[in-house]
Amino acid sequence: MNLPQSFTQRMQALLNDEYAAFEDALQHAAPVSIRVNQSKIALPAALKPVPWSQTAFYLPERPQFTLDPLIHAGAYYVQEASSMFLEQALRQVVNLDQELQVLDLCGAPGGKSTHIASLISPESLLVSNEVIRSRASILAENVTKWGSGNVVVTSNDPKDFGRLPSFFDVMVVDAPCSGEGMFRKDPQAVGEWSEDNVVLCSQRQQRILMDVWEALKPGGILIYSTCTWNQAENEENMAWLAAQHSAESLKIELDPSWGVEETALEGVQGYRFYPHRVQGEGFFMAVMRKAGEEETRHSTTKKKKYKLVAAGKKEKALVQGWLLQTEKFEWVQHNEVVSAVPATIFEALDELYKNLYVLYAGIEVAEVNGKKIKPLQALALSQYLNKDAFASTELDLEQALRYLRKEDINLGFSGNDWLLMQHQDIPLGWVKQIGNRLNNYYPKEWRIRMELPQELPEASFLKD
């Protein structure tokens, strides 16, 4: 790897005697790590844990993930290990038992959003945003597969969140950056790097922070991160934020065995990940508290006009048995789609619909057209699916992969009913029986496109 000269000089000055080990680490393949969705599958006993996360593990080698139905079912997420340090920030500085309103501003493709969703309470709200519409669709897909039910996917510019003053208790801003920490995973990033781009990224990060700052309530928490090592995009930006808005830097307690380096600049603490010290990629994180007293959120008791439309009694009666813990949900309807949203986030969700562009919210349960009713993919993958409400069929590996390729599959029986397709007892999606034929309702845009090899893996590495 031919590193830019000015980058090399800066890192040599920063790391001194450690630079040779750092450069050597960049010549080796990046480690492979996953984070497990405990609502769908048990934690594996045989894999090496990522030390700063309770549900993440390293894999000894990179498998062909596409050929594992469990990843399509949302049983786990492939995520870079260093970025999972977000868990420590949330556990140490946020009361996760409270009903929180959290923003993941730069959410695509979904690693941090699904991680946050696993850590906050079911009564909390997570707004997962991505400004680029095509990436927002991928984000919505991954959030849907994770199946939490209390996540809203939006596609808005950071400045749009100014319409929601003091709305969020916690903001996570994984800012677009110069990508120095991804050099060994993305050689193209090396060619695109320049000192001018570092300056541009730093300025853009400051604009992003200013655009969303008003939406963070007084006393609220900002978790800022990048995958780069220069001070301009990291410590200097946080020192600038502290000076501009009297934000307070918060400390994260570290285990020395983790290999994470704590930095300090003008009273602001930061946390750096270097590939020769940790089993992960380059990463930086800082945690700041907005000045002012924490506000208690008061729910309104007076009647108001809602943008969200309640589902009709007939539609609700058709589908409410399809979810577990139905008493926790409000039922809403948009055109023919009936969705369930946690009652605790209904008011906040209505505000989001009034002020932002919402792609996806809660659990899209069914499409209802008169007496015709079709269960939707989000229901199949929801953590609240009542599997007893449906007939189901267990698919072997080849059948599951052919189903995920949206091929026709023959199960050797007939009927006229919706069937839940499962692999290793984990739902994948729906088919509709029409006599001897099965109509495959797996989403066309999600389908596996690669040709299946003659020899398939024996089983998922997460199953014994």
Task: Just list the catalytic residues.
Answer: 227
Q: List all residues 6 or more positions away from 403 whose beta carbon is below 8 Å from its beta carbon.
A: 395, 409, 421, 428, 429, 431, 440, 442
The number of angstroms, rounded, from the C-alpha of 244 to the middle of its chain's C-alpha atoms is: 30
Q: Identity (one letter) of the amino acid at 432?
A: K
Distances (CA, A) of 275 to 29, 48, 140, 233, 318: 10, 17, 31, 19, 53
358 vs 361: CA distance, rounded Å: 7
Which residues are 167's β-sheet partners? none
Coil, helix or strand at residue 184: coil
Query: Pairing mode, if any, of strands 248-250 and 283-289?
Result: antiparallel
**338: nearest Cα among 308, 307, 306, 381:** 308
| Helix (H), strand (E), coil (C) string for 266-282 | CCEEEEEECCCCCCCCC
**Closest by Cα among 191, 392, 165 to 290:** 165
DSSP string, 75-128: SEEE--TGGGGHHHHHHHHS-TTS--EEEESS-TTSHHHHHHHHHS-TTSEEEE
Q: Cβ–Cβ contacts within 10 Å for residue 97, how many?
A: 10
Task: With CA atoms as reference, report the closest residue to 272 among 241, 300, 318, 238.
Answer: 238
Q: Phi and psi dihedrals of 317, rounded to 5? A: -65, -30
Closest CA to 106 of 168, 171, 61: 171
Q: Which three-class secondary structure state does DSSP give residue 48? A: strand
Alpha-carbon gap, residue 292 to 289, rounded angstroms: 9
* Spatial distance between the Cα atoms of 341 and 152, rounded to a whole number of angstroms: 10
